Chain A
């Protein structure tokens, strides 16, 4: 299990209806094979709002990961790789 507290940037994200389809991470293109779970985080807004969609998904490269989509900054980050 690998985990990035601040998130690890992913690039060239392609989405369809808001769902990630393909992304580049650590120099490699990963195609989403299935989205296993989606949940939204919206809390602590009295300090600083955290508003994110999180996607637990499998890729054709064999990974099971959690991607986070920051809905305020429209930034995509990888936060966990299951191992």
Chain B
């Protein structure tokens, strides 16, 4: 199940909290001389993103205009992520760019919401509802943002449910009922370009139901390539996965494969190339990272993942490859791999060149073994074992690993 948490008018709510602007005063955030975000009451007066401040003032003269602070917005989104991360790390949210772009609003949806998708994987429906409620409460308590939650098996219906729900409430869309629920809702819920939206409205297509009843070819003809996805979404089908966000600054490399890979060696080889790319990017930005996360998308929609925290921050391709291969070995992969995401987090600036100062240091296991040998010669030495892997995927637990007695 997927829970979508929608926090409407995020940027202005935040600015209101920080600057203690009273609720009654409409609030407009500016970037240069243009509108970057608005509160609900300014939006009702048709103040929109990209408009000049002069125009906005004319539409909404009593509004207070303050500059947008993307840095704080980014920090506060991270806080929400942190709150949600106690439930799972499979959380997706739009990354806030460091600078306002002239064409794209920081929160592009109809209510300028910060949107968070939380993937609860196979959690049962009856467990999801209370958990979603709990998430809403946790976020409110910890960050003072109040939103609405939608629950569905895929992202778009969950988002639509959250958008159509009162603040502080959870709405669940049952499997199979997505289409019936979506049909009457406005097409403005779809994640599309302003131009596409304008075009559809001109054609008199106002509801998701009307859009969904067009043939796919017509949708593609009207909206171009994105039309096919939009059409699927309108019909309640959402092929998009939750791509987990990371809490800090990260470097991420994504690979998708046309044909699912079933050969572990090929996946290994791809991880080497990913490491090289990651390393090149790190060198370019003068950073090293510590937390490495490997996420594999499998055939049939499943996914598996592993993460590790390295002992030291690294940037070298060799170390990254080694760590990734270790992560890969830990995953049990039951079907072909359709794609992978490698994320390196906890980035820190270089604190000097990474050097191998002690290349001849004995391996950890050998060091321990050496120490053990003196212990093991004693008559009352306790039995010590190294672990041997027999068949980690064996159906019976007792067939997976063996113990190998350590002898003096």
A residues apposed to B, CB below 8 Å: 3, 5, 41, 43, 50, 79-80
Contacts and interface: CB of A to CB of B under 8 A. Distances in A.
A70 B398 CA distance: 15
B396 A3 contact: no
Is chain A's interface secondary structure helix, strand, loop, or mixed overall? Answer: strand
Contacts of B397: 3, 79-80
B405 to A, nearest CB: 14
Nearest to B395: A41
Contacts of A5: 398
Nearest to B402: A5
Interface of B: 395-398
Contacts of B398: 5
A41 B397 CA distance: 11
Contacts of B396: 41, 43, 50
A43 B395 CA distance: 10
A77 to B, nearest CB: 11
A50 B398 CA distance: 12
Nearest to A50: B396
Contacts of A3: 397
Nearest to A54: B396
Nearest to A5: B398
A50 B399 CA distance: 12
A43 B398 CA distance: 13
A82 B397 CA distance: 13
A3 B403 CA distance: 14
Given A41-B396, A43-B396, A80-B397, 6 more contacts: A3-B397, A5-B398, A41-B395, A43-B395, A50-B396, A79-B397
B392 to A, nearest CB: 15
The 9 closest A-B pairs by CB, nearest first: A5-B398, A41-B396, A3-B397, A80-B397, A41-B395, A79-B397, A50-B396, A43-B395, A43-B396
A66 to B, nearest CB: 8
A34 to B, nearest CB: 13
B81 to A, nearest CB: 29
A79 B398 CA distance: 10
9 contacts: A3-B397, A5-B398, A41-B395, A41-B396, A43-B395, A43-B396, A50-B396, A79-B397, A80-B397
A80 to B, nearest CB: 7
Contacts of A80: 397
Contacts of A50: 396
A5 B397 CA distance: 8
Contacts of A43: 395-396
Contacts of A41: 395-396
Contacts of B395: 41, 43
Nearest to B394: A43
A78 to B, nearest CB: 13
A39 to B, nearest CB: 9
A71 to B, nearest CB: 15
A20 B238 CA distance: 43
A80 B396 CA distance: 12
B162 to A, nearest CB: 32
A29 to B, nearest CB: 26
